[in-house]
Structure 1
Amino acid sequence: MAEERARKSVSRKIETKPLALHARIQRDVEDRIVSGEWPPGTRIPFEHELTAEYGCSRMTVNKALSELVKKGLIERRRKSGSYVRQPEVLSAVLEIHQLEREVRALGLAYDFRLIEREERTADDGDRKRLRLPRSGRVLSLKGLHTAGQRPFCLEDRLISLEEVPQALEADFSRNPPGTWLLEQVPWSAAEHRIRATGADRDIADVLDLAEGAPCLVIERRTWNASGSITQVNLTYPGDMHTLVAQFAPSARPG
């Protein structure tokens, strides 16, 4: 019994131990970034400003910012300061493309049309797609990207309103949600799943295909330290998208 009380006492001490000052500065800055208060491209306060705000040494602030650089949340620019970093891509296959750029690279006119928009409490399917630990509000969006006069990609997207509440005020009638999210909300990790499928009746109608026609589906979820941001299913007609990756032979043992 005495041992159990001792363990509980140690646990309470650990839980109530205050954060080191550099860790608190790091947490405060990170919270502003992942909440979207400071979107990509925002210059964060100079080191001397943070030193005055927290009443600490320049070394303490520098340590906090260095950790944020390691996490890929900020970048330092010589003689300019520190800025919220734009997300970086990892490879050609895993790159998060803006569909408008894909279309214009083909030399075709681009357009986007919002088909459906719905705010709702996440159901089991929504929670599974976003991997939400509990129920919350989500924004469901469906839209069509076109290349020239031809359907190019059907977008079926969920946005977590717990992480991105500002999405409710965004106008997606012409501005593609993927482009808006890349500009407004920092992400730290993404997962891609790629599969082939036959177009069902609804997809065939939107993409102007015969029912059962081959399609390529890219399923993508992005998240940050705070939680899941969005999950999207991008469905392309089979002849409208190619995945490319470059690689080299691995080094042979000597």
Structure 2
Amino acid sequence: MGNGAAATARSDKQSGAATSLHQRILSDIQGNILSGRWEPGQRIPVELELMEQYDCSRMTVNKVLTQLAQAGIIERRRKFGSFVSRPHSQSAVLSIPDIKTEVDALGLPYRFEILERHKRRATRDDRALLGSDDAAPVLELVCRHFAKDQPFCVEYRLINLQSVAGAATEPFADISPGAWLLRQVPWNVAEHRIRAAGANAEEAARLKVKSGSPCLIVERTTRSLTSAITFVRLTYPGNLHELVATFTSLTSPSRSA
């Protein structure tokens, strides 16, 4: 191998190592925040401490912290350091997000798994969640979403099969239920309900946090003009998401998640 080729190979190897280290630092910090080990408002290690811990340059650490700050996960305060972001008490009219998009924005690999799947006739409780009087068949799903190896949220979902018959046979092997609905089903009205609660034993096990750890719970119901489409409850560890309000599609139909 010539000198030029050798230099290029070394450069590529160093670049790959830097990228891998950047991802490791990002994943470690994100994991500490999502798991609740670092609480909202807590100061995280300063750049010098992170440089010593990971044996890396200030530039690498700075890039990680900048990415986390841009994603709203931490707040950087000049001369004081970086702190875990506190929950926002803000209301806004927003579109329905795809969880994969949320994880992608953090620069972490995304995956999901279906934990439970049941097709049955809607119970009284199901009808109350869907806001429907019809005893239609429903598909009940429990899905866990990951940001790399850390559980990002647990999704509990009811799909009205009278409105979305195709969900009964959709395997959800390569696409999550929410993302599939976003692509398939038009909705006209959606409502969000947001609350904070401590994780019960089952939720804590699924999220890999301690029982009683603070969680943000987002519940959403979407409807067409004629019937309920889906109810979903998303349980996130920690308080890293915006508070949103009831919103309505005022022009052309949107997609249901």
Report the TM-score when normalising by structure 1.
Answer: 0.58
- Counterpart of 2:242, as a letter, is L
Per the TM alignment, residue 224 of structure 1 is displaced from its structure 2 partner at its CA by: 0.7
Residues 93-131 of structure 1: per-residue CA shift (max 9 Å, x gap): 643100000001000000010100000011111011001
Residues 163-195 of structure 1: per-residue CA shift (max 9 Å, x gap): 111111212134100000010000011000000
What residue in structure 1 maps to residue 241 of structure 2?
242
Per the TM alignment, residue 242 of structure 1 is displaced from its structure 2 partner at its CA by: 2.3
Alpha-carbon distance between aligned partners in 1 of 2:243 and 2:203, rounded to the nearest angstrom: 25
Q: Secondary structure at the match of 2:133?
A: coil
Alpha-carbon distance between aligned partners in 1 of 2:173 and 2:201, rounded to the nearest angstrom: 24
Q: Structure 1 residues 93, 200: CA separation in 2 closer, same or farther (over 3 Å shift)?
A: farther
What residue in structure 2 maps to residue 168 of structure 1?
168
Q: Structure 1 residues 190, 117: CA separation in 2 closer, same or farther (over 3 Å shift)?
A: same
Return structure 1 stretches of 4+ with deviation > 6 angstroms: none
Q: Secondary structure at the match of 2:186?
A: coil
Q: Is the 8 A contact 1:113 1:174 kept in 2?
A: no
Alpha-carbon distance between aligned partners in 2 of 1:244 and 1:228, rounded to the nearest angstrom: 23
Alpha-carbon distance between aligned partners in 1 of 2:106 and 2:177, rounded to the nearest angstrom: 21
Q: Structure 1 residues 179, 92: CA separation in 2 closer, same or farther (over 3 Å shift)?
A: farther
What residue in structure 2 maps to residue 79 of structure 1?
none
What residue in structure 2 maps to residue 207 of structure 1?
207
What residue in structure 1 maps to residue 145 of structure 2?
145
Asked which structure has the greater CA Rg, the reply is 1
Alpha-carbon distance between aligned partners in 1 of 2:232 and 2:243, rounded to the nearest angstrom: 20
Aligned: 1:182 with 2:182: yes
Alpha-carbon distance between aligned partners in 1 of 2:92 and 2:153, rounded to the nearest angstrom: 18
Structure 2 residue ranges without an equivalent (≥5): 1-90, 245-257
Alpha-carbon distance between aligned partners in 1 of 2:98 and 2:242, rounded to the nearest angstrom: 15
- Counterpart of 1:192, as a letter, is H
Aligned: 1:114 with 2:117: no
Q: Secondary structure at the match of 1:231?
A: strand
Per the TM alignment, residue 233 of structure 1 is displaced from its structure 2 partner at its CA by: 0.1
Alpha-carbon distance between aligned partners in 1 of 2:232 and 2:99, rounded to the nearest angstrom: 13
Alpha-carbon distance between aligned partners in 2 of 1:136 and 1:168, rounded to the nearest angstrom: 13
Report the TM-score when normalising by structure 2.
Answer: 0.58
Q: Is the 8 A contact 2:194 2:243 kept in 1?
A: no
- Counterpart of 1:193, as a letter, is R
Residues 28-64 of structure 1: per-residue CA shift (max 9 Å, x gap): xxxxxxxxxxxxxxxxxxxxxxxxxxxxxxxxxxxxx
Q: Structure 1 residues 93, 115: CA separation in 2 closer, same or farther (over 3 Å shift)?
A: farther
Alpha-carbon distance between aligned partners in 1 of 2:215 and 2:113, rounded to the nearest angstrom: 20
Q: Is the 8 A contact 1:94 1:192 kept in 2?
A: no
Per the TM alignment, residue 134 of structure 1 is displaced from its structure 2 partner at its CA by: 2.2
Per the TM alignment, residue 92 of structure 1 is displaced from its structure 2 partner at its CA by: 5.0
- Number of aligned residue pairs: give it: 154
Structure 1 residue ranges without an equivalent (≥5): 1-90, 246-254
What residue in structure 1 maps to residue 80 of structure 2?
none
Which protein, 1 or 2, shows the higher relative CO under an 8 Å CA cutoff with sep ≥ 6? 2
C-alpha RMSD of the superposition: 1.5
Per the TM alignment, residue 136 of structure 1 is displaced from its structure 2 partner at its CA by: 1.2
- Counterpart of 2:175, as a letter, is N
